[in-house]
Amino acid sequence: MDGQGATADPQLQHFIEIESQKQRFQQLVHQMTEVCWEKCMDKPGPKLDSRTETCFVNCVERFIDTSQFILNRLEQTQRSRGSFSESLLD
């Protein structure tokens, strides 16, 4: 697929950007649902009880925190040790 068709049509390009963004959101929802299901769900009951729901909410928030923490820390390590990225590439 060459990208020229998309760049030639701004309307289509905008559409693709929005849809890609939505798709990244959906993909992360699938992923977090799976991860948090393992953490929070015992035996599936007739309804989602409030304790389990709170667990899911906390699980999502902490998953995002973890992802941001790791990203920040990697950035810091990279800054303090300028050779970090090079050593990864070696």
Partner 1 sequence: MDGFGSDYSSGGSGGKMDPGVIMEQVKVQIAVANAQELLQRMTEKCFKKCIGKPGSTLDNSEQKCIAMCMDRYMDAWNTVSKTYNSRLQKERARM
30 binds partner 1, rule: CB under 8 A: yes
Residue from the set 3, 11, 51, 87 that interacts with partner 1 by CB under 8 A: 11
Q: Evaluate whether 58 touches 36 at the Cβ level (below 8 Å).
A: no
Q: Minimum distance from CB of 75 to partner 1 (Å)?
A: 17
Residue from the set 7, 17, 53, 70 that interacts with partner 1 by CB under 8 A: 53
Q: Of 75 and 85, which has the nearer Cβ to partner 1?
A: 75
3-state DSSP percent of the chain in helix, strand and coil, to 5:
80, 0, 20
Q: Which amino acid is at 57?
A: V
> Any idea which residue has 């007739």 for tokens?
46
